[in-house]
Chain A
Amino acid sequence: MQDYAIDIQHLDKSFTLFRHTTGIKGMVLHLPKYIKDRTSPRTKQVFKDFSLQVPAGETLGIAGANGCGKTTLLSLIGKVIKPDRGTVKTRGRISMMLALGAGFANELSGRENIILNGVLQGMPRRKMNELLEEIIDVTEISGEFIDAPIYTYSSGMRARLGFGVAIMTDPDILLVDEVLSVGDSAFQQKCTEMIRAKQKKGMTIVLVSHNRSQLRDFCTSLIYMQGGQVLLSGSPESVMAEINNRKLVF
């Protein structure tokens, strides 16, 4: 039995789709349709019997067209949503780094959000207080902004705040969704270096990206998803080559 950091077995997940007939008006005017809507709600099956294992210490890249289930997969690994059937087993603390500022409270300052976010992701408060200054250093958010409510922040600043918390709290598993492309080149450079350092230390990373060079640079293995299934998997080079071959949407 190999040592998996993430082990997904026979996962099923579907979402209830938007209902066309809602409220009393819909009920009165379109009764047959309304009843059909309620009795057999239209669902979209995103995953059916999906299995995936990520060995500890690996960096898995996920590529695929919009709507193929990449973000849903990250949410399932991050336990934000629950599978309908099947299991998602993970080992250790998970940190999510999602586009447009992971769960922040708009009215609180950057400093307060760092603590809030870290603690909600399972870090002890004492530890977060110790890490606070280091994290602020990493985010490079200046003194006048770090104590201002984060609705005053630019999207780049939010992304940096999210990155700072996620990387400095040293999770066992880091889930990254399309964030590394935010921020200026200097900051991207810094992100790259820090992620490399964490890779060396054995952090397991799942990286969703549309950026080929990023996927090639970071990942130890790559999967290409289509319609909720793994279409291709293997080393980044071989998967990339196959994507080009088949002219798949990236």
Chain B
Amino acid sequence: MLQKTAIVFDQIYVLVLRDFKLKYNSTALGFLWSFLVPVLQSLVYYAVFNSVARFGIRNYLLYMLSGMFLWYFFSGAVTMSLHCFPGNATLLKKTAFDRSLLVFSRLLTELIHFLLIIPVMFLLMLVYKIVPGWSVLTMPIILLEFFFFTAGICYALATLNVFFRDLERIIGVLLQAWFFMSPIFYHLDNLHGKLRVLVMWCNPISCYMEGWRNIFYDPVWNWKLLAIGVVPALLSWLIGYGIFRLKCDKIAEQM
């Protein structure tokens, strides 16, 4: 039993190592990209929304970056999950390891990238002269919730994409819609009426993003957000992983 667990750890390790190598295969800047892309993206939105349509958010760049990094973890993981199985067809057909590790290792790769960016967030706080509060302690909880929320969606999409390759085509558009439905470059207070209700209560990412900003942007302690966040995380994980379990025996045959 103990030996089996150790081997699973080893398998995750080699898969994560491989994902890292493949991700930066023949790029000059390597890991820097996972930092640069969200920053550059934020600068674009900053330029647009600071000149064309102002939202009147103080420390706007910090506000946007704190949301953008979180979003990039999510969208990166979702995009990668689609290729988990088709991209490993030869491995799946010829080796009998636990298939869930392929998705898990991708998720872990994305998470590690995300964690490496956290020190940058603290640096930015320093630049903006924001004093971290006790809410820093909520970070592991929010990360855990957000991770399971993302993982559930990734497991579902990775599995479904094996059987309906149509998903690959539509997911980019859906992600874009989701991006605009999330308080990344605007504030929930900018929204009114039904739209506000929709973004606040129908998009779980808003909840995690608010929690995240309560650490880096506007340090306040908010138990309610943490408690609410558990629900979508659990639901997503149970449904997503359930779909995977239901179909995992058939994945290799479809390759």
Name A residues whose Cβ lies closer than 8 Å to a Cβ of B: 15, 75, 78-82, 94, 96, 98, 101-105, 107-108, 112, 115-117, 119-125
- Cross-chain contact A102 with B10 (CB below 8 angstroms): no
**Number of residues in B with C-beta < 8 Å to the partner?**
24
Q: How far is the CB of A113 from chain B (nearest CB, A)?
A: 9
Give the 8 A-B CB pairs with smallest separation, nearest first.
A103-B91, A79-B96, A125-B10, A103-B94, A82-B249, A103-B95, A120-B97, A102-B94
Q: How far is the CB of B169 from chain A (nearest CB, A)?
A: 12
Q: Which of B5-62 contact A (CB under 8 A)?
A: 6-7, 10-11, 13-15, 18, 21-22, 25
Inside 8 A of B189's CB, which chain A residues have their CB? none
| Given A107-B21, A122-B7, residue A96 in contact with residue B95 (CB < 8 A) | yes
Inside 8 A of B154's CB, which chain A residues have their CB? none
- Cross-chain contact A80 with B11 (CB below 8 angstroms): no
- Cross-chain contact A119 with B14 (CB below 8 angstroms): yes
Main secondary structure of the interface of A (DSSP, over half): loop
Closest to B253 in A: A81
Inside 8 A of A104's CB, which chain B residues have their CB? 90-91
- Cross-chain contact A120 with B249 (CB below 8 angstroms): no
| Given A103-B90, A108-B21, A116-B14, residue A121 in contact with residue B249 (CB < 8 A) | no
- Cross-chain contact A80 with B92 (CB below 8 angstroms): yes
Could you give, for residues 89-121 of chain B, a 1 whenever the CB lies within 8 Å of some chain A CB and a 0 otherwise? 011111111000000000000000000000000
Inside 8 A of A115's CB, which chain B residues have their CB? 14
Q: How far is the CB of B213 from chain A (nearest CB, A)?
A: 38
| Given A102-B95, A103-B94, residue A120 in contact with residue B18 (CB < 8 A) | no
Inside 8 A of B18's CB, which chain A residues have their CB? 105, 108, 112, 116
In the bound complex, CA of A203 to CA of B82 (Å): 39
